């Protein structure tokens, strides 16, 4: 054999597939053949049954909705399916939550957000056996339009939100087909804590939920959480608007760190650097100096803290308040606590369905609060902790375990989950915090707590340019970078105060949940930037 011939044989041998490769190719070929065979069989079945299927126009997969036409057809909400509608022929659009074929009938559970209803397709005058088979084979999570008669049921359907009625389907069309294999099962996602461990059924861990957040958000629990969260924002806005507050929007790209600390995200800003706002603090105060008197804002807040805890996020929604007062910053505390109480009352009045839905999966004690809100001084809190055996200094900040312990002690003594801790040590507060005039070690600042965890940090702000400059220098803040802020106080500024509330924490603690990621729709933390 020539040299070229040998080389060609070697190359051919190298290119020849391995046994493993051949096996893989064979499996792929079998897979393709099976798929083709299945499709051919379905087509043949469809062709052979079309002629003798009297209901063939009553089910199927219509063309994709591309706004081809406007149908004069009203769709009834699942939530509205009550015994009063019994006997009516209606149209509903919903997802296939579950399906179960049994002989000549198929039971479906149709889900729409946090509400669901049982539906039945049965062979009869309006449905053929082919229609029943079609309904049974629709993939879970597919979106369907059904025409059905509402029927009362003799025995309550405990597994559905609409327990007193079911739908007898006469037409069913698939509007959007889900893939047959879901990344997670919704029934696993809503299983109460610990229940799956007992009988070996699957539960879904937090990372899997968050990696497949769109599916996880479809669960009745997630739907309830985020509807209640929307309610918190609405109640916050309505309460403050009724109190004469003005809603403002503040910049999130700023020239200096809002809180004067190192926990700030730096971003490229053309030929220089900028920062993501840790708080709308400075701008709220500038609005007060501009005579807006009472302002609030709802928006994102960024914290570059490498904290992988149950309650920290690198981006969260801040509910911020700032207002002038006449003679004492306790006027501010009273205004904020009253706002929180109105939110708690509003949630209890308007969101009982959502609270109960969440409670089925995550049971917790009912949230308790007092009117007027309990206010303790920091020194009193430290004394209570020392009585409980905690060793801590007078000017030491509260650690997370001590916050939780103090929350339990306050609950035992005062029977409230919501309280204010006033007069924090000046050393642990931001540069713009007003010192206590009677004891320079302390400050006119406060935190508010729910179930032993902080949800708001606030204070009387320094409204004198000279004192503000001194405190900024003490905190090693570059005066040039906050010049426009300090200048705002040189032309007359009223005494004022306020606070910033973490929306996700409020929802987590009100519902008695254990992780702030459960109340953040698409959470951001040091280890998560997607989805």
Catalytic hit among 168, 227, 305, 377: 305
Which residue of the set 95, 97, 126, 311 is catalytic?
Answer: 311
Pairing of strands 115-122, 165-176: parallel
478: Cβ contacts below 8 Å, ≥ 6 apart: 256
CA distances, 85 to each of 113, 136, 157, 251 (Å) = 20, 26, 17, 51
Angle at 128 between CA 122 and CA 133, to 5 degrees: 75
Q: Are 436 and 461 in contact (CB under 8 A)?
A: no
Given 99, 161, 457, 520, which residue is catalytic?
457
230 is an active site residue = no
Tokens 């804002």 map to which residue? 297
Could you give the 3-state DSSP secondary structure of residue 26? helix
What dihedral do alpha carbons 80, 83, 84, 86 form, nearest 10°? 100
Q: Is 505 a catalytic residue?
A: yes
Among candidates 315, 266, 324, which has minimal Cα distance to 292?
Answer: 324
Catalytic residue among 191, 454, 463, 471: 454
Separation of alpha carbons 263 and 257, rounded Å: 8
Residue 114 near residue 98 (C-beta atoms within 8 A): no
Give catalytic status of residue 73 as yes or no.
no
Cα 240–chain centre separation = 23
Residue 126 annotated in active site: no
Rg (CA), the chain: 31
* Structure-token pair, residue 528: 């998560």
Report the candidate in 275, 271, 286, 285 with the shortest Cα–Cα distance to residue 253. 275
Say how many residues make up the chain. 531
User: What is the DSSP code string of 383-420?
Assistant: HHHHHTT----TTPPPPHHHHHHHHHHHHHHH--SEEE
Q: Please indicate whether residue 97 is annotated as part of the active site.
A: no
Question: Within a 10 A sphere around the Cβ of 291, how many other Cβ atoms?
Answer: 10
What would the two tokens of residue 184 be? 């997670």
Specify whether the CB–CB gap between 111 and 78 falls below 8 A.
yes
312 a catalytic residue? yes
Nearest Cα to 219, choosing from 364, 361, 100?
361
Residue 375 a catalytic site member: no
Taking the CA atoms of residue 236, residue 451, residue 455 and residue 318 in that order, the dihedral angle to the nearest 10 degrees is: -50
Tokens of 346: 């509003």
- Distance, CA of 169 to CA of 59 (rounded, Å): 10
Annotated catalytic residue: which of 93, 505, 517, 520?
Answer: 505
322: closest CA among 226, 247, 213?
247
135-165 burial string, b = 16+ CB within 10 Å, else e?
Answer: bbebebbbbbbbbbbbbeeeeebeebbbebb
Annotated catalytic residue within 95, 191, 209, 303: 303
Residues tagged active-site: 303, 305, 311-312, 454, 457, 505
């Amino acid at each position: 054999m020539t040299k070229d011939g040998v080389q060609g044989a070697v190359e051919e041998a190298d290119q020849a597939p391995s046994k493993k490769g051949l096996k893989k190719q064979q499996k792929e070929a079998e897979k393709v053949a099976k798929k083709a065979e299945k499709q051919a069989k379905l087509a043949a079945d469809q062709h052979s049954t079309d002629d003798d299927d009297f209901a063939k126009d009553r089910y199927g997969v219509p063309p994709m909705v591309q706004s081809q036409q406007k149908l004069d057809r009203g769709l009834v909400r699942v939530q509205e399916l009550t015994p009063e509608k019994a006997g009516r022929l209606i149209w509903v659009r919903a997802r296939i939550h579950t399906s179960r074929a049994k002989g000549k009938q198929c039971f479906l559970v149709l889900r729409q957000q946090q509400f669901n209803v049982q539906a039945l397709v049965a062979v009869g005058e309006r449905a053929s056996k082919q229609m029943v088979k079609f309904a049974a084979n629709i993939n879970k999570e597919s979106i369907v339009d059904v025409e059905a008669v509402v029927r009362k049921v003799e025995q309550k359907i405990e597994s559905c939100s609409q327990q007193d009625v079911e739908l007898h389907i006469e037409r069913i069309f698939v509007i959007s087909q889900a893939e047959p294999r879901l990344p997670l099962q919704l029934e696993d996602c809503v299983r109460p804590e610990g229940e799956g461990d007992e009988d070996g059924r699957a539960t879904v861990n937090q990372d899997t939920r968050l990696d497949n957040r769109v599916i996880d958000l479809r669960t009745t629990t997630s739907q309830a959480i985020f509807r209640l969260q929307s309610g918190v924002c609405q109640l916050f806005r309505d309460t403050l608007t009724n109190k004469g507050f003005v809603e403002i929007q503040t910049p999130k790209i700023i020239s200096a760190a809002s809180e004067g600390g190192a926990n700030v995200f730096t971003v490229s800003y053309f030929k220089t650097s900028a920062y993501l706002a840790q708080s709308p603090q400075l701008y709220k105060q500038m609005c007060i100096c501009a005579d807006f008197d009472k302002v609030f804002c709802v928006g994102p807040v960024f914290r570059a803290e490498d904290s992988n805890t149950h309650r920290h996020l690198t981006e969260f929604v801040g509910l911020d308040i700032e207002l002038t007062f006449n003679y004492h910053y306790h006027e501010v505390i009273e205004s904020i606590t009253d706002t929180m109480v109105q939110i708690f009352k509003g949630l209890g009045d308007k969101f009982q369905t959502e609270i109960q839905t969440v409670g089925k999966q995550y049971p917790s004690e009912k949230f308790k609060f007092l009117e007027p809100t309990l206010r303790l001084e920091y020194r009193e809190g430290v004394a209570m902790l020392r009585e409980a055996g905690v060793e801590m200094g007078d000017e030491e900040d509260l650690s997370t375990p001590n916050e939780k312990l103090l929350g339990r002690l306050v609950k035992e003594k005062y029977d409230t989950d919501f309280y204010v801790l006033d007069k924090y040590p000046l050393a642990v507060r931001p540069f713009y915090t007003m010192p206590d005039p009677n004891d320079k070690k302390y400050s006119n600042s406060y935190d508010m707590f729910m179930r032993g965890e902080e949800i708001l940090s606030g204070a009387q702000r320094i409204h004198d340019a000279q004192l503000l400059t001194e405190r900024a220098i003490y905190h090693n803040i570059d005066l040039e970078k906050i010049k426009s802020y300090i200048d705002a106080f040189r032309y007359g500024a009223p005494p004022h105060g306020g606070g910033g509330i973490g929306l996700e924490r409020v929802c987590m603690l009100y519902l008695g949940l254990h992780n702030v990621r459960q109340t953040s729709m698409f959470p951001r933390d040091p280890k998560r930037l997607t989805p």
